[in-house]
Amino acid sequence: MSAAPAHDCPLCPRLVAYRAANRAANPAWHNGPVPSWGPRDAPLLVLGLAPGVRGANRTGRPFTGDYAGRLLYGTLLKFGQARGEFREDPNDGMELTGCRIANAVRCVPPENLPTPAEIRTCNGFLQAELAAMPGLRAVLALGVVAHNALLRAKGIPASRHAFAHGAIHVLPDGLMLADSYHVSRYNTSTRRLTPEMFEAAVEALLARLT
């Protein structure tokens, strides 16, 4: 399977129908599977859940155009994994330098929640993404869905590595799987995830990569 689905990927009927509705309502938006972003030779992959309807589904760049990107990209810039300035616009000129970003599900799901079947269907693209990153040493999973999707892509039962914010799991092939709560507006507004918590998780993982 290719690492990137076609813009009119037909594999998930519910997501196809939602895509069609979004295209009709907002024809100038991206409204398709959102491609991964960043250098393929990076040692780190940041793995999210799925595009937001008014964020990446609109702009075509992961975590761009909605609230979730502010903490993520602000932290990546702070720790030298990106350069430039994040302005929630894919034309802001910002570049990723030390990491690549992908989502467990490439198309926006209704209510920001993919079904288990959709997660499984899209997992082949994640497997291909991992295979196309020759220098990959670690994955930062944003939330339990991304955590479990990464384990599925590696053929590892989820029961072997429980999700826990701040945890770093070493998989049998040596790949590190680091966990963080998702950088969503809900998690940050409820203080389930604070900037300090997220920065600590990223800093701890980067320390293992040096």
Enumerate residues 6+ apart whose C-beta is below 8 A from 57.
22, 29, 30, 31, 34, 51, 107, 108
Cα→Cα distances 7→32, 98, 173, 195, 208, Å: 5, 27, 33, 34, 36
Beta bridge partners of 176: 138, 170
> pLDDT per position in the chain (210 positions), as tens?
666 899 999 999 999 999 999 999 999 999 999 999 999 999 999 999 999 999 999 999 999 998 999 999 999 999 999 999 999 999 999 999 999 999 999 999 999 999 999 999 999 999 999 999 999 999 999 999 999 999 999 999 999 999 999 999 999 999 999 999 999 999 999 999 999 999 999 999 999 998
CB distance 44 to 129 below 8 Å: no
Q: Give the residue from 76, 125, 88, 87 showing the smallest Cα distance to 105.
A: 125
Q: What is the model's pTM?
A: 0.97
Q: Cα torsion for 150, 152, 157, 162, to the nearest 10°?
A: 30
Q: Give the residue from 126, 104, 123, 100 showing the smallest Cα distance to 113.
A: 104
Place of tokens 């029961």: 159
Q: Cα torsion for 177, 130, 144, 176, to the nearest 10°?
A: 0
